[in-house]
Amino acid sequence: MQNFNFQDFEIWFVTGAQLLYGGDAVKHVDAHSNEMVAGLNKSGNLPVKVVYKGTANSSAEVAAALSAANADKKCAGVITWMHTFSPAKMWIHGLKGYQKPLLHLHTQFNKEIPWSEIDMDFMNLNQSAHGDREFGHIVSRMRKNRKVVVGHWQDGKVHEHIAVWMRVAAAWADAQDMRIIRFGDNMNNVAVTDGDKVEAEIRLGYHVDYFSIGDLAAEVKRVSEKQVDELVAAYEKEYDFADNAKRGGKDHAQVREAARIEAALRKFLEAKGAKAFTTNFDALHEINQLPGLAAQRLMAEGYGFGAEGDWKTAALVRTMKVMAHGLDGGTSFLEDYTYHFKGKGSILQAHMLEICPSIAGAKPRMEVHPLGIGGKADPARLVFTAHEGAGVAATVVDMGNRFRMIVNLVDVVKPEAALPKLPVASALWIPQPNLEAGAAAWIYAGGTHHTSFSYPLTREYMEDYADIADIEMVTIDGNTSIPEFKKELRLNEVYYLLNRALQY
């Protein structure tokens, strides 16, 4: 994946303790913690390496550990655990300055109570049950978001929850130096794809820069015929071809032109250190065709993408691609296009061209067709239908006083029949709980027509992200009822107004 590797990150593990029980107790705590961290790493269930940072036995030690975590580039977050009782006032100074994701692992070293041997020494050493409650209190008292995972450290379910959070923590770290390149502005007059880029950088970390499409056009002119030949050969290996798009076909020149744009765009993004980009069909100037194929293939390499200048979606696509990295199933930019009012009701998701082939159900087909918008030459594109399966569709909107993330659980289904005349990639999904309530809730929440969609991700990932970013999140799922959902939106309005006044 472009510019991303889980191996570039670490998660630190800090065990809370105190010296009340004597130096021997701390030695046990330390030995147990070492064994647990080694066990977590050996489980093979965690995408990011856990690094044990020792016990923290005083306010100064906590502050030192957490400020070191803030400063360390590799550290994407900290896991805390209280083996014994760790009086939580000693966590105040450290937590006050701590800026990265926090996971509180509420576990204990032993899995079961040793009935015949348990004595007070054992109890004093193994008292996470109350030590972790003391720690949890101060985190709540300080209004710090964190994820609490409960269970024995060797349990696969516990690993799953930690793994989700690790993926999100790494995606969060990735977003903190994410540069998004926008060719042109947002599509004129469109409200929902626009927003406050300054607030986005403060709150979400990523940075959005504007470039003229002329800068890309200049790069297109520098692409050699050999580079084009190589890309077209790669296309021929990976995709089927429509007759007119094939070598010798009447529109093959458009495929070559698309390859030229792809090579230029990739080079441009690499040179600028960008992880995501947007285009605008209305601002193409010397570019011969809308860069649809390039957007499709660059998304498949891990770049975030949003059409019509939609930088918020470009950022979210990148972030969700990082979260999902290495998992089965794809992640793509999509747009709600057309409804099918039958049964539960479904939505045909598509775009003018730019859907990521990672969600394709079968080998994509290279086609060239006219595009009835933008007034440019006929663009090449990959055409396919997304495979069946559950997934999440998400968007972030700017509500004026805050960002709101809207998440809808959806079920991608097989279309009733082939769509032989549809010249673009598509996905047909049923939004949960059904089209009627799903679409109504989405609209009440102010959601976009653009989404970032992913098969392997679940609500838990999105919730971890919203908690880390400290933004509002509303979920539309199988239990959504419109009266309750409207109430949630109204309560959130009050919560976020008051939250500003209460911020620590």
Q: Report the interface residues with Mn ion, using CB under 5 A.
A: 307-308, 335
Based on CB atoms, which residue is closest to Mn ion, 105 or 352?
Answer: 352
Q: How far is the CB of 426 from Mn ion (least distance, A)?
A: 14
Residue 451 Cβ vs Mn ion, minimum distance, rounded to whole Å: 10
Q: Which is nearer to Mn ion, 16 or 184 (CB)?
A: 184
CA distance 467 to 461: 10
Buried-exposed string 198-233: b where 16+ CB fall within 10 A, e elsewhere: eebeeebbbbbeeeebeebbebbeebeeebbeebbe
CB of 143 to Mn ion, least distance (A): 38
| 8 A C-beta contact, residue 349 and residue 410 | no
Cβ(228)–Cβ(260) under 8 Å? Answer: yes
What lies within 8 Å, CB to CB, of 446 at 6+ separation is: 192, 397, 399, 404, 406
Alpha-carbon distance values, 358 to 13, 127, 198, 275, 302 (Å)? 34, 47, 32, 17, 10
Q: In terms of CB distance, is 233 or 373 closer to Mn ion?
A: 373
Inter-residue contact 360 to 387 (CB < 8 Å):
yes
Please, what is the minimum distance in Å from the beta carbon of residue 370 to Mn ion?
Answer: 18
Between 318 and 402, name the residue whose CB sits nearer to Mn ion: 318
With respect to Mn ion, which residue has the nearer C-beta, 158 or 350?
Answer: 350
Nearest residue to Mn ion by CB is 307
- Closest CB 222 distance from Mn ion, rounded Å: 29
Nearer to Mn ion, 306 or 391 (CB): 306
Question: Looking at this protein, which amino acid is placed at residue 82?
Answer: M
Query: If phi over 0 gives left and psi between -120 and 50 gives alpha, with beta otherwise, what is residue 345?
Result: left
CB of 374 to Mn ion, least distance (A): 12
- Closest contact distance (angstroms) between CB of 310 and Mn ion is 7
Residue 73 C-alpha from the chain's centroid:
20
136 CB burial (10 A radius; 0-12, 13-18, 19+): middle
What is the distance of C-alpha 27 from the center of its chain?
Answer: 39
- The answer to whether the CB of 196 falls within 8 A of the CB of 398 is yes
Which is nearer to Mn ion, 169 or 397 (by Cβ)?
397
Nearer residue to Mn ion within complex by CB, 208 or 245: 208
Smallest gap from residue 365 Cβ to Mn ion (A): 22
Work out how close the CB of 306 gets to Mn ion at its nearest, in angstroms, rounded to a whole number.
8
Q: How far is the CB of 239 from Mn ion (least distance, A)?
A: 24
Q: Which of 313, 228, 237, 240 is nearest to 266 (CA)?
A: 228
DSSP SS3 for 137: helix
Task: Please give the Cα distance from 402 to 475 (Å, whole number).
Answer: 17
Nearer to Mn ion, 163 or 190 (CB): 190
Of 194, 350, 222, 394, which Cα lies nearest the Cα of 278? 194
List, in sequence order, the alpha helices (H) in 81-212: 92-97, 120-125, 128-141, 156-176, 197-204
Min separation Cβ 452 and Mn ion, Å:
13
Here the tokens at position 477 are 């799922």
d(CA 469, CA 465): 6
Q: How near is the Cβ of 349 to Mn ion at its closest, in Å?
A: 11
State the Cα–Cα distance between residues 406 and 248, nearest whole angstrom: 47
Q: Which is nearer to Mn ion, 69 or 317 (CB)?
A: 317
The nearer residue to Mn ion, 333 or 465, going by C-beta atoms, is: 333
Between 309 and 433, name the residue whose CB sits nearer to Mn ion: 309
